[in-house]
Structure 1
Amino acid sequence: MTTLYLDAFSGISGDMFLGMLLDLGLDFDQLKTELAKLQVTGYELTQARKAESSIYGTSFDVIVPTGKDHGFVEHHHDHDHEHAHEHHHQHGRHLHEIVALIQGSTLSEQVKNRAIAIFTEIAKAEATVHQMPLSDVHFHEVGALDSIVDIVGCCVGLELMGIDTLLASPLAEGSGFINVAHGQMPVPVPAVMQMRVGTQIPIKQRLDVETELITPTGMGIVKTLVSDFGPMPENMVPVKVGYGFGSRDTGGFNALRGILVEKKN
């Protein structure tokens, strides 16, 4: 059994999580081989070893041709927009389509189940925020591809590294607003705030950081896979430390620290 402790002093995203796993020793080629089982194209994976504040870590990214957004749209309920619905439907994916894609792959059952659970948590939050049925939640073409690779990649990485238990510190979140395709969103973004409902996930807001630190993908991973929150347990010994860098300019050291730990003898 292998335990991973997430030190989320600067929040969490899918890219940061995968960068951290790669920094801890996840094999990049193995990751790409497993993700190829999804049989989706149109993306490129990159990793780079770099230093921030003289601390070395790994930056990971999913490169898609037309850039990134938050990955969700809501369907209008006005029949005059029927043509627009068709256009969006052709260039995006609904939750049931993403579930079918994952289920139809040759990935392991554990990876499939974990990835579907994370996607479902995010979609439920979006459905509540936008006051729509779960079946209408619609991932943009780019957002869907980016999210699929990030979420499935995180689940693949955990399995390849034999990590079965995830623990985490309280999460840090920023403040202010971010601009997305549909306008401004307050931080925490609505989907992240909605995923907090009914949980005791500890989040400390950093008023010195005026941007998003916790993405919906990051929150979905935490809510679905982390079993406990708090300081690193006293009966655990750190074995290896890795850093996954975030892409946002937070004005400070922006990384997710992962610590592989084992119980004291």
Structure 2
Amino acid sequence: MKTLYFDCFSGISGDMVIGALIDAGADPEFLAEELKKLKIDDEYELGWKKVVKNGITSTKFDVILLDSISVNNADDHSHEHTHSHDHSHDHSHEHTHSHDHSHDHSHEHMHNHDHSHDHSHGHGHSHDRSHDHSHSHSHHHRSYKDIMKLILEADLSDNVKNTALNIFEKIGRAEGHIHGMPLEQVHFHEVGAVDSIIDIVGAAILFHHLEVSVIKASAIPVGTGRIKIDHGIYPVPAPATLEILKGIPLEHTNIRGELTTPTGAAIVAAMADEFCAFPSLKVQAIGYGAGTKTFAEHPNVLRVIIGEQV
């Protein structure tokens, strides 16, 4: 039975999931073509490349929002806009590294639009991205109903649609609970952003593309410390992340910062059949997906292991 194991020793985010699956052998060109079926490819570009995180070669996946290219530098671009109050984190204390910038950018793949800008350098500004909101979000404010419609009307397989909708429902119900409103009334801003839609639908596409039968995951480290969000200074994990991970084993860590984002939490919560220690596997493929943050003594990557259960 083909099994995929998420080894979340450094947490999990949407971009790390996609990067790890590509690194494990999923076809990024197939992903790019399938994502066009959402009919929003005039709003983004995709980028992926190899980077080294603390000695581990991994794949960095990026979604570049086209409406912000002309306004901001690449350093300010984010694609983990995952809940309605997670877009003003100040992680400036983490901006001390530089080794992701030295790689040969011939590995960079840009898609959908012929822009000469290189917008997916491995700048480690934040696992959940430092967000500069001076750019327009004019077509990123999609409601839960908008997202459902977008997915249901796409020419994707029913399995991919159902998986993506399940992941979004995890986030929607968490937000509704936190804000005291039913799911139908939840209006997302960041969850409705193009980049989060790409991460979630993209993860669904790749899971089914890899024909995985069982998904398992380790306990989830969420990080420690405080983050600045719209409503003030909040503890890590952010409220939406913690709500999504209710009932799922969390792992203590002394690493300061937000290791697990709402999108990453929702993907693993919706997809994992079991949370356990490393299972007995005959390993066939290993993939590492890079986060943007870099730690002094800890590789900020998500590891996926694919193999036959024994």
Normalised by the size of structure 1, how large is the TM-score? 0.87
Tell me the residue number matched to 2:14: 14
| Structure 1 position 115 matched with structure 2 position 164 | yes
Partner of 1:244: 289
Q: Show structure 2 runs of 5+ residues with no match.
A: 69-76, 86-136
**Cα drift, residue 187 of structure 1:** 0.6
Deviation at 1:3, TM superposition (A): 1.1
Letter in 2 for 1:158: F
Superposition deviation, residue 142 in structure 1: 8.0
- When you count helix as a share of all residues, which structure comes out higher? 1
When residues 109 and 50 of structure 1 are mapped into structure 2, their CA distance, relative to the original with a 3 A threshold, is same
Greater strand proportion: 1
- 1:77 matched to which residue of 2? none
Cα RMSD (Å): 2.2
Alignment of 1:15-54 (within 5 A): 15-40=15-40, 41-54=42-55
**Deviation at 1:184?**
2.9
Q: Distance in 1 between matches of 2:184 and 2:30?
A: 33
Q: Which letter maps to 2:4?
A: L
Offset, 1:91: 5.3
Name stretches of at least 5 consecutive residues in structure 1 with no aligned partner. Answer: 75-87
Retained in 1: the 8 A contact 2:13–2:265?
yes
Q: Secondary structure at the match of 2:273?
A: strand
What CA distance in whole angstroms lies between the structure 2 residues aligned with 1:60 and 1:231? Answer: 27
Give 2:221's match in structure 1, choosing from 161, 169, 172: 172
Stretch deviating more after TM superposition (95-104 or 128-137): 128-137
Aligned to 1:124, the other structure's residue is in SS state helix
Tell whether the 8 Å contact from 2:221 to 2:260 is kept in structure 1 after alignment. yes
Equivalent position SS for 1:248:
coil
Instruction: Work out whether 1:204 is the aligned partner of 2:251.
Output: yes
Give the CA deviation at 1:100: 0.6
Identical amino acids, percent of aligned pairs: 41
- Counterpart of 1:243, as a letter, is Y
Normalised to the residue count of structure 2, the TM-score between the two structures is 0.75
Do the aligned residues in 2 keep the contact of 1:20 with 1:57 (CA within 8 Å)?
A: yes
> What is the rounded CA distance, in whole Å, between the counterparts of 2:301 and 2:139 in structure 1?
36
- After TM superposition, which residue ranges in structure 1, 4 or more long, deviate above 4 angstroms? 88-91
Distance in 2 between residues matched to 1:244 and 1:90, nearest whole Å = 28
1:190 equivalent to 2:239? Answer yes
Shift of 1:225: 0.7
**1:237–1:141: structure 2 CA closer, same or farther, 3 Å change rule?**
closer
Count, aligned residues: 248
Q: How does 1:85-100 map to 2 (within 5 A)?
A: 92-100=141-149
Equivalent runs, 1:73-152 vs 2, <5 Å? 73=84, 92-140=141-189, 144-152=193-201
After TM superposition, give the deviation of residue 179 of structure 1 in Å.
Answer: 2.4
